[in-house]
Amino acid sequence: MSTLEATRTPDVVLVEPRLPSWAPLLVAVGSAGIGALLWIFGASLALGVFAAFVVFLIVLPVWSALIESRRAAVDRLATSLVWTTFLIALVPLIWLVVTVVREGMSTVSPDFLTYSMRNVIGDAQGGLYHALLGTLLVTGMAALISVPIGIFAAIYLIEYGKGKRLARILTFLVDVMTGIPSIVAGLFALSLFVLILGPSIRFGFGGSVALSLLMIPTVVRSTEEMLRLVPDDLREASYALGVPKWRTIAKVVLPTCLGGIVTGVVLAISRIIGETAPLLVVAGATDSVNTNLFDGRMTTLPVFIYQQYTYSTPKGLSYAWGGALVLILIVMILNIVARIIGKIFAPKTGR
C-alpha cells in the first residue's frame, strides 16, 4: 500500500439526511385516520378534523427533528402551519359556494331571470329581472362617479402632492372613508337628498352616490399602488425629451399601469355590488322594472335577496338562494374580467 493511500482520509458526506418525499403524505393520511376514528367513536366532525390537524402539526416536525435537523423541523412546522391556515380559510369559502349552488341551482331558470315580481301572487312565476337591471344601473352609475374621482385623486397624491399638506389631509380622509360602515354612507346620501329634494325622496341615483362613497377609497388606494410601481426612470426620460408633466402622465405613466388600475376598479365594483343597507335606505325597493335612476324606487339584487328571505316562505327562500347564486356569478365574472384585462394591458417584458 502506498503512503498516499495510507494517509487518505475517509470521504466526508456533505448531504444531510432527509425525510422521503412521501413523508408528509404519510403523516397526513395517518392524521386523517386518527380524526376519522375519533369521529366514528362518537366525537363531532369538527373535533375529528381539529385532532387530525393537531396530530399532523406535531408528528411531522418531530419526525423531521429526529431524522433531519432542528432547522429542517422548524421549516416543516412553519410550512405545515401555512398550509393548515390556508385550508382552514378555504373550508368556509368552499362550503359557501357549494351551499349556494345546491340551494339556488333549482331556482335559476330563463323565466327567473326574465320575470319581475310585479303582480306576483301565490305560486305565480316571478323573478329578479327588475333587481338585476337595477343592480347594473345603480352600480354602473356608481362606477361612473367613482372612477374619475378616484383616479384623478390618486394622480394628484403621487404626481403632484408629494410633501404637501393638502396631500396629507386627502390621504387621511381616504383612510377614514375606507373604514366607514356602509349604512353610514347610505344615511349620508339619504340626508343629502332629503335636504335638497324633500323627505319622501327614494331613487336609484341616491343609491349610486352612497355606493360611490364606498368605492372611491378603494379606487384611490389601488391606483396609488399602481402609480408607485411605475419606475421613475420612465418619467425622467420623458422629461428629458421636453415632454410636459401632464402629457408624461397621460402618455407614459398611465399606459404603463393601466392593467393594474382597471383591475383595481373592477375589484372595487365587485366590493360594492353586494351592499344592501345603503341601497335599502336610499334607493328603496319595488316589485316593478324601473330604468330611470332619477325617478322612483329601484330594487337591486342584495335588496331582492333580503326581501325574499324575510318572507320566510318556501318560495321566498328559494328565490333568495337563486338571487344569491346570480350575485355570486356576477362577482365571479367581474373578477375573471379583471384578470383578463390585467393580462392584456400588462406591460410587455420583451421576452
Name the residue among 323, 312, 303 with its Cα closest to residue 127.
323
For residue 302, being part of any structural domain is answered with: yes
pLDDT for 337 equals 84
On whether both 330 and 233 belong to a single domain, the answer is yes
On whether both 200 and 234 belong to a single domain, the answer is yes
For residue 22, being part of any structural domain is answered with: yes
For residue 43, being part of any structural domain is answered with: yes
The whole-angstrom separation of Cα 4 and Cα 144 is 85
pLDDT in tens, 190-239: 999 999 888 888 888 999 999 999 999 999 999 999 999 888 888 888 88
pLDDT for 155 equals 92
On whether both 143 and 70 belong to a single domain, the answer is no
Residue 79 cell numbers, joined? 410550512
On whether both 183 and 51 belong to a single domain, the answer is no
pLDDT under 50: residue ranges of the chain: 1, 4, 351
pLDDT for 154 equals 92
The whole-angstrom separation of Cα 227 and Cα 155 is 8
Name the residue among 86, 64, 85, 218 with its Cα closest to residue 142.
218
Q: What is the pTM of this model?
A: 0.80
Owner of C-alpha cell 328559494: 318
pLDDT for 349 equals 58
On whether both 147 and 246 belong to a single domain, the answer is yes
pLDDT for 217 equals 92
Please state the domain count of the chain: 2
pLDDT for 139 equals 93
The residue type at 9: T
For residue 7, being part of any structural domain is answered with: no
For residue 8, being part of any structural domain is answered with: no
For residue 111, being part of any structural domain is answered with: no
Query: Could you count the other beta carbons within 10 Å of the beta carbon of residue 174?
Result: 20
Domain that holds residue 88: 16-104
- Contact in structure between 75 and 292 (CB atoms under 8 Å): no
**Share of residues in the chain with pLDDT > 90 (%):** 22
On whether both 136 and 180 belong to a single domain, the answer is yes
On whether both 91 and 151 belong to a single domain, the answer is no
On whether both 86 and 150 belong to a single domain, the answer is no
On whether both 262 and 182 belong to a single domain, the answer is yes
CATH number at residue 303: 1.10.3720.10
On whether both 94 and 133 belong to a single domain, the answer is no
